[in-house]
Amino acid sequence: MNHSDLQIMFYGKNIAQNDVKVSDGVIIKEVQKTENPNYIFVTIETKNVTLDEFTFSFLKNNKLTFTQKYSLKNRKENSRYRKSFDSSDVIYLIMSDRFANGNPNNDSSTSTAEKANRNNPGGRHGGDIAGMIKNLDYIKELGATALWPTPICEDNDETYSYHGYGQSDVYKIDPRYGTNEEYLQFSNELHKRGMKNIMDYVTNHWGWKHWMYKDLPTRDWVHQFPKFTNSNYRMTTQFDINASKRDAKYCADGWFVPSMPDLNQSNPLVLNYLTQNAIWWIEYADLDGFRVDTYSYNDKEGIAKWTKAITDEYPNFNIVGEVWMYDQAHMAYWQKDSKIAAIQSYNSYLPSVMDFTLQEQIHNGVFNEDKQEWRNGMVKIYENFTNDFLYPNTNNLLVFFENHDTSRLNEIYKNNFDKYKMAMTLINTIRGIPQIYYGSEIGMAGDKGKGDADIRRDFPGGWNGDSNNAFTKSGRTVEQQKFFDFTSKLLNWRKNKTVIHNGKTTHYIPENNVYVYFRHNEKESVMVIINNSNETQKFKTDRFQENILNFTSGKDVISDKNIDLKKEITIEAKSSMILELK
């Protein structure tokens, strides 16, 4: 490893009463003991170790009490410079328990408390890694290239454990999802298909059933208060120069919910545990990226060190953080090398953040605004991108209109296919990395107002006996096929369009609720037209001359129609065109 120190945590009753020695050929750099005698942290230097296996000896009064073998495994070739996800990808987000049940035998396990009950909307339904593997060809046919399943490590909560964000063992895949070996197999199957595995990693908290929470190595391993203290969720306090110290502290140190102890990333032992665990998963499961939960609720300095340690070890590794804020300056603050954050001498080192302000406009109904006013209709979308100067890297923004924590697009727009097409066109042609949420591509809806279960419904066809199987063409309804065909055509076209992946964006002030932008490089140009008005619109192309240049026509990617750029362009109400200029 580039960083070759390894800290090993030993756990056992009164283990700290021992001294530690190790086989010749290995150097112990440090032994740390804490106020809890059941732990010892031993740091070794791994760089020049040639032994496949070596032995730690534990001695009390110079008498051997026990030994423990340990081994260092070989890394995969070129592990350090592994590729990661980027703007050439489309990410498919899966609610792991709700996609497909590939192995009904693992729906419940003896080692975990909550048993499967598909009749309980908030219960465990049996979706698993085997189900994801079984349907990778479906996702490939759709045109998505990277998978982000919600967390799959063990979450042993008695109820509501399916969401997986309250983990009880971060080295072990939850048996109801499969095994560690199956998770590695999942990566291998993705890689065979030229696709990528993004792990949903949680640094901010563990679940209260985590084995270590029952016997904390140090009292300050988690943030403790005299009585339960919630985070105030006001992430702005983390940089607001007018914020009180109290508010800033309670945002980061307060607990997200009562069942999730808030980890203290300012404790070097905690930070190292999280860093080494993350690196272990990258190596073990051959990962292609992380999505980090509740990024801006972590200790600010600690999470920057975590992110830097991982990206130092893997220079091409991409990490997207959940920074759920409502202002571009606030989100841009958290992206690596932010000049705004530099004002406060801060650098998160986080390569990618999520474009939540774009999501917010789509979520709040911009495609229902038929008439353009000074700040309404497509102007809202246009204005979102006028703030792009704040971001250090706009190609590394996640663009999306929904996820597992929001109402679904098809709920908000009542399964209106025209509005679906406009939204899908936008996120797949604008700068950044599109992220779509399982099931929307077949028209699935879901209302956050009715609770999380409604936005995390089972994918039809994922369970034996499902009457509707949307994984196959013959199983889809006419309506599902309509959504799928459009999405698949768009995503598959996008796959090889470098001009969309990293071309420059030039956009024009919307007129009559029609938004026009170009994605262009030295070789190619794509003109995107979104007509959000409820009338057919006609316009001349003169005002786009600086992008139209000598191009004379454009071929619409979806309809294959040729559009003459020298004549007036006609676009139907509530529709979009993606013109490859010729």
Active site members: 293, 322
C-alpha to C-alpha distance for 513 and 41, rounded to whole angstroms? 62
What is the DSSP annotation of 131-189? HHHHTHHHHHHHT--EEEEPP-EE---SSSGGG--S-SEEEEE-TTT--HHHHHHHHHH
Residues 61-100 as x/- pattern, contact with Ca ion by CB under 5 A:
----------------------------------------
By CB under 5 A, tell whether 446 contacts Ca ion.
Answer: no
121 vs 392, beta carbon nearer Ca ion: 121
Do 446 and 440 meet the contact criterion of CB atoms below 8 Å apart? no
Angstrom CA distances, 576 to 152, 159, 250, 567, stand at 38, 44, 46, 18
Q: What are the two backbone dihedrals, phi and then psi, of residue 537, each rounded to the nearest 5 degrees?
A: -120, 140
C-alpha to C-alpha distance for 301 and 98, rounded to whole angstroms? 35
133 vs 282, beta carbon nearer Ca ion: 133
Do 252 and 238 meet the contact criterion of CB atoms below 8 Å apart? yes
Output the smallest distance, CB 130 to Ca ion, in A.
7
Residues 115-134 touching Ca ion, rule: CB under 5 A, are: 126, 128
The footprint of Ca ion on this chain (CB under 5 A) covers a number of residues equal to 6
By CB under 5 A, tell whether 107 contacts Ca ion.
Answer: yes
Output the smallest distance, CB 179 to Ca ion, in A.
12
Output the smallest distance, CB 81 to Ca ion, in A.
36
Residues 282-311 touching Ca ion, rule: CB under 5 A, are: none
Output the smallest distance, CB 96 to Ca ion, in A.
10
Binder of Ca ion out of 103, 487, 532, 575 (CB under 5 A): 103
Phi-psi region of 246 (alpha: psi -120 to 50; beta: other; left: phi over 0): alpha
By CB under 5 A, tell whether 101 contacts Ca ion.
Answer: yes
114 vs 128, beta carbon nearer Ca ion: 128
126 vs 377, beta carbon nearer Ca ion: 126
Task: Determine how many CB atoms are found less than 10 A away from the CB of residue 52.
Answer: 9
Q: In this chain, which stretch among 13-21, 64-72, 107-115, 546-554 interacts with Ca ion, using CB under 5 A?
A: 107-115
106 vs 197, beta carbon nearer Ca ion: 106
Closest residue by Cα to residue 112 from 211, 198, 181: 211
143 vs 462, beta carbon nearer Ca ion: 462
Do 54 and 25 meet the contact criterion of CB atoms below 8 Å apart? yes
Binder of Ca ion out of 87, 106, 267, 328 (CB under 5 A): 106
Which residue type does 129 have? I
Hey, is 110 helix, strand or coil? coil
Interface with Ca ion (CB under 5 A): 101, 103, 106-107, 126, 128
